[in-house]
Structure formats: structure tokens, C-alpha cells
Amino acid sequence: MFFRAKRALGRAWFDFNCRSLLRTPPIHSNDDSLTLVSMLCHGEVVMYLLAIKSFCAQLGRYPKVVILNDGTLTNSDYAILQTHIPGVRIVLISEVAPDRCPKGSCWERLLLIGDLVKDTYVVQLDSDTLTLKSIAEVTQCIEANRSFTLLGDGSYPDIETMQSACLRSKTNMGTMVQAVCERSFDQLPESTTLKYVRGNAGFTGFAKGSIVREKIVWFSDLMRIIANDKWDEWGSEQVTSNLLIANSQDAHVLEFPKYLSYWAHANIPYQDASFIHFIGPYRFSNGFYVSSARKVIATL
């Protein structure tokens, strides 16, 4: 309960400090070759608008926009979104069939991407992200139709064989589903041919034609063999996203610390980053998110 109250207070403080964002120009999509996908909840509408406007400003193009409504968006939220992103497509989470995959925990977002990516390059952009400077590497990936991923905190900075990733993870005895899967990859015969990257699903690019829904379901079924009932827990979608990216042809890992998540580490030069994912537990720590957001809004 304390965490929820603290999060709500942080969101309210963010919205108050970033209210001038609602006076910035709308995004008029004019690029059918690229689609931005995000899952959105009621409390993060302003946050999301800053994420997408700052991203498009640095990208220099205006893609199609698809929002997955987690079920909490209000009529007022719809009005704000449609004002700032004319032509936005908003999909209700219940409209995405889960097949044999877990339900919730961002799985519908990944399945929606699987449906869209056959016709367009897709960038998955979390609402708690901020693009501050040039993202030339992302532009190059999109233009070359290469998938990409943001790294996880402290992750091995490259795509590697699944067997190598497993060996690297043997000492991680964490109980979360990602740790369980990573240290158990060697139980799968497929581990000899598959690759893996310990990425972060908060910011990923899926090359056009790189995945299909059936491949998502296949990876889900495969991981359930080693994770069992834990596969239904939060974090399984990110494992699958990592597998999809790693096994996509010529995929790219975004360089740290130019692209990173905000864990409020004292020794990381966050002020020099081009792209930051402000993850939940540390999102509003030290006021860095709000101060950075205000600087970006002034440029929009």
C-alpha cells in the first residue's frame, strides 16, 4: 500500500511539473513504415506523451502510433491522446487473444507486436522513458531493418549463445522467473542452436517480418518446460522478448551507458545519456526524471 501511495504521489508531482507539455504541438503521423507500440495505464498519460514526443523529436520522423489500453484509460484520457496524436489507434487489452501464452504482465503487448510486425518495423516504447539526445543507432537499425534492444542492468553487453548465457547465470539463484529460466536453459535441447540477450523490454525494436505470433507462442511453450507455473509470473514476457530479439537476424544491442535504465547508481553518468528508461522503483529518485523532463519539454 505504501508503494502504491508513493507511486501515485510521484506521478502527480510529475504531471504538475510537466503540465506545459500539454501545450506542445501534436504528433501527426506520416510514416507507415514504422509503428510505435506502448501499453498505457490511466496514471501515465502525461508521462507517455513526453516519452513519445521526445522520441519522435530525436528520431526526426512521425510513425504510426498504437496504444494498448490496459483497461484503465478514461474518456478524458482518450480525448487527450487523440488531441496530441491525431489518428492514434487505441486497442483494448481484452481484444488481444492470448493463445497459449500467459495473460497479463505485458504479454498482450508482445502478441500485438507479433501481429503488427509482419507489415511494419515496430518500436516498443515504455511510457516511463525519455529521449534526451541523438539516437542515431536506433535510426540506423530502423533503416537497415535490424531488431534492437536496451540492455538490462549489469547485463552482458552482447548477444551470445544460450549455453553461454546459461553458464553465466548459474550463480544467480534469484527466484524471479527470468533468473530461473536463464540458469536452466541447458535443460533444453534447443539451447545448442538458440541465442540470448539479457535485454530490457522497455525499449525494443522489431524488424519488419522478424517475428510471428506463432514464434512467440513457441518460445512461451519452450520456457514453460523449465519454469513450470512460474512462467505465469511477471517477467516471462521480457524473457521471450529477449529470445525474439537475440534470434532475429543481425540484431543490435544498444550501447550502455548511452542507452540505459535509471537505477540511481551514483557512479553512472545519467546526464550524458541519450535515452533513459525510468524504471518503477527508482523512477522519481533524486528528482532527476522531473528535472530532465522539464528540460526536454522546453525544446518541444
**Mean pLDDT (the chain, rounded):** 96
Per-residue model confidence (pLDDT) at position 66: 98
For range 140-165, the mean pLDDT: 97
Kindly report the pTM of this predicted structure: 0.96
Per-residue model confidence (pLDDT) at position 43: 95
For residue 6, pLDDT over 90 is answered with no
For residue 285, pLDDT over 80 is answered with yes
Residues 69-104: tens digit of each pLDDT: 999 999 999 999 999 999 999 999 999 999 999 999
d(CA 220, CA 102): 8
d(CA 96, CA 199): 24
Torsion of CA 132, 123, 92, 126, to 10 degrees: -30
Confidence of residue 1 (pLDDT cuts 50, 70, 90): low
For range 224-230, the mean pLDDT: 97
Where does 176-282 have alpha helices with state H? 177-182, 213-227, 236-246
d(CA 75, CA 112): 23
Residues 213-225: tens digit of each pLDDT: 999 999 999 999 9
For residue 280, pLDDT over 90 is answered with no
Domain ranges of the chain: 2-154+199-211+250-297
For residue 242, pLDDT over 70 is answered with yes
Of 119, 121, 113, 71, which Cα lies nearest the Cα of 237? 113
- Asked if 294 contacts 18 with a C-beta cutoff of 8 angstroms, the reply is yes
Per-residue model confidence (pLDDT) at position 70: 98
d(CA 222, CA 230): 13
Per-residue model confidence (pLDDT) at position 5: 78
For range 167-177, the mean pLDDT: 96
Architecture of domain 2-154+199-211+250-297: Alpha-Beta Complex (3.90)
For residue 2, pLDDT over 70 is answered with no
